[in-house]
């Protein structure tokens, strides 16, 4: 592999080993050897996504889930012509700077060893333009663990179009990783519920709860390496609505608090009936206080690959908390 190394900021550095929503409308949603290493810009993966615009909403990293997106991986980033232009610009800026001459010489030697006439990729594989691409490390700057972003060592390799990604390279983009990257792009609607009665609730009067109809449908994103014939479609499907009343002095409907995703909305004349999804509060809230009712939608995640493979990824659970006030109606009997 070429000695030209790491990818972050231009420079040469000594190498070291390294990896409330209320019921009336307001809401709150919750390398390792000694010597100089050339450090440059992070590679940008040539992965396409369909739909390109996934819309508003929240992604899996905002959910209650054990899953996290890839922190770093290897993917196609440059054609030969792009790679040559990339290094020409980087080295031109580097040579014209005030860097020590020994560091400039080290860069020239490294480029010659890798992309010179007798290097691993002679003249940046310009004569193979249109036949493949250079693959490099891509660091996911949206990943919360910065150390994990640097767990993939810096390396560059070439893959011909039509060839499968090399199986001997850990964290290389394949169909399953494309599914994970597609999952990261999925956006689902906020868990906005409707309630009847609206506004303040009443002790011992059932509150109907349901989701906005038409908002909660399966959402899919496809990630592709077009020139390599690889793709994966990841689909998030809403499968359940959970209600937590925010107090032990309440009864959920059904008793488990687990409702069907398409639980019926309140209809005229249904007052006094048990709702298919809802809650009955048994005690009023203290003056100035509120119960925190939490509504959560669980989304199951499944994927299908262009090679016939498929599988599942951990569910995502998206929740919204509502401040609910409950009044006690006093009745005078004569």
Grade residue 40 by pLDDT with cuts at 50, 70 and 90: very low
**Mean pLDDT over the full length of the chain:** 84
What pLDDT, in 10s, does the model give residues 275-294? 999 999 999 999 889 999 99
Predicted TM-score (pTM) of this structure: 0.81
User: What's the pLDDT score for residue 2?
Assistant: 36
Q: What is the pLDDT of residue 48?
A: 94
Q: How far apart are the first and last CA of the chain?
A: 93
Residue 279: its pLDDT value, please? 97
Question: What integer is the mean pLDDT of 74-94?
Answer: 93
Q: What is the pLDDT of residue 34?
A: 26
Closest Cα to residue 317, out of 62, 49, 28, 106? Answer: 62
Of 5-19, 94-108, 310-324, highest mean pLDDT: 310-324
Specify the pLDDT at position 39: 38
Q: What is the dihedral of CA 210, 190, 301, 146, to 10 degrees?
A: -150
- For residue 57, with 0-12 CB atoms within 10 Å meaning exposed, 13-18 middle and 19 or more buried, which class applies? middle
Q: Is residue 7 classed as helix, strand or coil in its secondary structure?
A: strand
Q: Is residue 332's pLDDT more than 80? A: no
Predicted confidence band of residue 212 (pLDDT cuts 50, 70, 90):
confident
List pLDDT tens digits, range 129-181. 999 999 999 999 888 899 999 999 989 999 999 999 998 889 999 999 999 99
User: Half-sphere exposure of residue 32, counting CA atoms within 13 Å on the CB side?
Assistant: 6
SS (H, E, C) 52-116: CCCCCCECHHHCECCCCCCCEEEEEEECHHHHHHHHHHHHHHHHCCCCCHHHHHHHHHHHHHHHC
pLDDT over 70, % of the chain: 85
**pLDDT value at residue 207:** 95
Residue 310 confidence (pLDDT) above 60: yes
Q: At residue 170, what are phi and psi to the nearest 5 degrees?
A: -60, 145
Q: Show the DSSP H helices in the chain as ranges.
A: 80-95, 101-115, 146-149, 175-185
Q: Is the pLDDT of residue 313 over 70?
A: yes
Task: Map tokens 């906020």 to a residue.
Answer: 190
In angstroms, rounded to a whole number, what is the distance separating the alpha carbons of residues 220 and 236?
A: 6
Rounded CA gap, 46 and 165, in Å?
Answer: 14
CA angle 148, 149, 151 (to 5 degrees): 60
CA neighbor of 74 nearest in space, from 180, 165, 10: 165
Residue 7, both tokens: 């990818």
């Amino acid at each position: 592999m070429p000695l030209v190394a790491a990818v972050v900021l231009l420079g040469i550095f000594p190498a070291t080993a390294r990896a409330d929503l209320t019921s009336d409308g307001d809401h709150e949603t919750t390398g390792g050897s000694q010597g100089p290493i050339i450090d440059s810009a992070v590679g940008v993966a040539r992965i396409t996504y369909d739909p390109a615009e996934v819309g508003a909403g929240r992604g899996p990293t905002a959910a209650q889930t054990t899953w996290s997106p890839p922190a770093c991986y290897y993917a196609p980033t440059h054609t030969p012509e792009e790679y040559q232009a990339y290094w020409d610009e980087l080295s031109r800026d580097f040579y014209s700077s005030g860097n020590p001459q020994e560091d400039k010489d080290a860069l020239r030697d490294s480029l010659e060893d890798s992309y010179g006439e007798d290097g691993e990729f002679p003249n940046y594989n310009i004569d193979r333009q249109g036949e493949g691409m250079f693959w490099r490390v891509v660091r996911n700057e949206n990943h919360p663990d910065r150390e994990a972003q640097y767990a993939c060592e810096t390396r560059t390799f070439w893959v011909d179009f039509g060839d499968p990604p090399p199986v001997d390279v850990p964290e290389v983009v394949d169909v399953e990783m494309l599914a994970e990257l597609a999952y990261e792009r999925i956006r689902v609607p906020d868990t906005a519920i409707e309630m009847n009665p609206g506004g303040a609730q009443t002790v011992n009067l059932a509150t109907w709860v349901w989701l906005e109809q038409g908002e909660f449908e399966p959402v899919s994103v496809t990630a592709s390496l077009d020139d390599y014939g690889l793709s994966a479609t990841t689909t998030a499907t809403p499968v359940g609505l959970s209600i937590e009343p925010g107090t032990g002095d309440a009864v959920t409907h059904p008793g488990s608090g687990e409702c069907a995703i398409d639980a019926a909305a309140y209809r005229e004349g249904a007052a006094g009936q048990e709702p298919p999804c809802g809650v009955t509060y048994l005690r009023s809230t203290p003056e100035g206080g509120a119960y925190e009712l939490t509504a959560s939608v669980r989304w199951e995640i499944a994927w299908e690959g262009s090679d016939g493979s498929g599988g599942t990824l951990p569910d995502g659970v998206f929740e919204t908390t509502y401040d609910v006030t409950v009044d006690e109606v006093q009745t005078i009997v004569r």
